[in-house]
Structure 1
Amino acid sequence: MAAPIDLELKKAFSELQVKMIDTQQKVKLADLQIDQLTRVQKHAKLTHAEVAVLADNTRLYEGVGRMFILQSKEDINNQLMDKQKTAEEKIKELEQKKVYLERSVKEAEDNIREMLLSRRAH
């Protein structure tokens, strides 16, 4: 009877190991994406600060591929604000995803602990 218990525990541990490795990779990817979005957000914020001090009649150009398009100061400010807001929303989503992934691994670990304790009690 000890052999089926050992096989069941081995299976549970191997599933947990696979889940932990997968989760760690997803958390690392989320961290990288958060770092990149933070840089984008900071760049947009700094650019917005520089554009804000310019006179309203200053000619501003937006880089599009290999060319530059004349844009109004208001349009550029709106684009920069949208870029900041979008990055902030994505960062919040990624943080929530990380919390969910970490919680799911913790629950799997707790389930295995309970299984071990119930096996020892019998």
Structure 2
Amino acid sequence: MSIPNEALQKLVQEIQSQAVQAQQQINVVRSQISSKQRDMRMLQLTSEEISTLPNDTKIYEGVGKMFVFSPMIDVSKRLKTETSDLTKDVDNLGKRLLYLETTHKNSREHIDQIFQSGRS
């Protein structure tokens, strides 16, 4: 039982479209992961610098065009919370990346199978 050429061509185009879309999303997710990892590194470095300071040191954070005094404990808590949130985001993006890579791989395999069955 053979599939008509028009139907086969349409099927290949749909699968190719899925593969291209998955590849584009893979690139977006990779750049998001990279950005979040860079932010995590900045938070880690800031946290390390703050931990070396004496407890009574005044810390000022930038808010728009001004600086506002923040207690060291509050800053440390905020840095830990932001790091935790970024870690969760990176984990979720990693799962999404794995899903997209699997989708892309499966699409490519389906296209190869269609072409191989067409040659036989």
Shorter-normalised TM-score: what interval? 0.7 to 0.9
Alignment map for 1:88-107 (pairs within 5 Å): 88-107=87-106
For the structure 1 residues 21 and 108, does the alpha-carbon distance in structure 2 shift closer, same or farther, using more than 3 Å as the test? Answer: closer
Structure 2: tracts of 5 or more residues without a match: none
Distance 1:10 1:30 in 2: 30
Q: Identity over the aligned pairs, expressed in percent?
A: 27
Instruction: Give the TM-score taking structure 2 as reference length.
Output: 0.87
Structure 1: tracts of 5 or more residues without a match: none
Distance 1:91 1:107 in 2: 24
Higher RCO (Cα < 8 Å, 6 or more apart): 2
RMSD value, Cα: 2.2
- Compare 45-54 and 83-92 and name the one that shifted more: 83-92
Residue identity in the other structure for 1:21: V
Following superposition, the deviation at residue 112 of structure 1 comes to 4.6
Instruction: Give the TM-score taking structure 1 as reference length.
Output: 0.85
Q: Could you give the per-residue CA deviations for residues 33-65 of structure 1, whole angstroms, max 9, x where no partner exists?
A: 111101100000000000001001000011111
Residue identity in the other structure for 1:92: D
Q: 1:78 matched to which residue of 2?
A: 77
